[in-house]
Amino acid sequence: MEVAYTIEELRQARRRICVAFAPEDERHPRVGFVPTMGNLHEGHMCLVKRMTDECEVSVVSIFVNPTQFAPGEDFDEYPRTPDADLMQCEDAGVDLVFFPEEDQLYLEDHSTEIVVHRLTERYCGAARPGHFAGVALVVAKLLNIVQPDIAYFGQKDYQQFRVIERMVRDLDFPVALSMCATVRESDGLAMSSRNAYLKGDDRKAAATIYQGLQVLAEAFAAGERDSAALKEAARAELAEPVRLEYLEIADAWSLEPKQSAARGDVVLVAAHVGETRLIDNIVLAAGEENAN
CB nearer to ligand AMP: give 182 or 227.
182
Residues constituting the chain: 292
Phi/psi at 240 (5° precision): -55, 140
Closest CA to 58 of 27, 3, 96: 96
Residue 68 is a binding residue for ligand AMP (CB under 6 A): no
Check: CB of residue 257 under 8 Å from CB of residue 235.
no
CB nearer to ligand AMP: give 193 or 227.
193
Binding to ligand AMP in span 135-154, by CB under 6 A: 153-154
Number of residues that bind ligand AMP (CB under 6 A): 17
* Distant-in-sequence, close-in-space partners of 74: CB < 8 Å, separation ≥ 6: 194, 197
Closest CA to 140 of 108, 165, 104: 165
Residue 89 is a binding residue for ligand AMP (CB under 6 A): no
Longest pairwise C-alpha distance within the chain: 62
| Helical residues (DSSP H) of the chain, grouped into ranges | 7-21, 42-54, 82-91, 102-105, 124-127, 131-146, 158-170, 200-221, 227-235
Nearest distance in Å: CB 23, ligand AMP: 33
Nearest distance in Å: CB 190, ligand AMP: 5
CB nearer to ligand AMP: give 68 or 208.
68
Nearest distance in Å: CB 244, ligand AMP: 20
Residue 37 is a binding residue for ligand AMP (CB under 6 A): yes
Of the candidates 44, 110, 117, 272, the residue annotated as catalytic is: 44
CB nearer to ligand AMP: give 78 or 246.
78
Which span (39-47, 196-204, 212-220, 255-263) binds ligand AMP, by CB under 6 A? 39-47
Nearest distance in Å: CB 200, ligand AMP: 21
Pairing outcome for strands 266-273 and 276-283: antiparallel
44: annotated active-site residue: yes
- Which one of 4, 190, 217, 261 is in contact with ligand AMP (CB under 6 A)? 190
Residue 67 is a binding residue for ligand AMP (CB under 6 A): no
Mask of contacts with ligand AMP, 157-186, x by CB under 6 A? x----------------------x-xx---
Burial status of residue 203 (CB atoms within 10 A of its CB: 0-12, 13-18, 19 or more): middle
Phi/psi at 171 (5° precision): -100, 5
Q: What is the dihedral of CA 68, 256, 287, 290, to 10 degrees?
A: 0
Which span (81-89, 122-130, 167-175, 190-198) binds ligand AMP, by CB under 6 A? 190-198
- At 239, which amino acid appears? A
CA distance linking residue 91 with residue 122, whole number of Å:
39
Nearest distance in Å: CB 148, ligand AMP: 13
Residue 206 is a binding residue for ligand AMP (CB under 6 A): no
> Which residues belong to the active site?
44
Q: Which residues bind ligand AMP (CB under 6 A)?
A: 36-37, 43-44, 46-47, 153-154, 156-157, 180, 182-183, 190-193
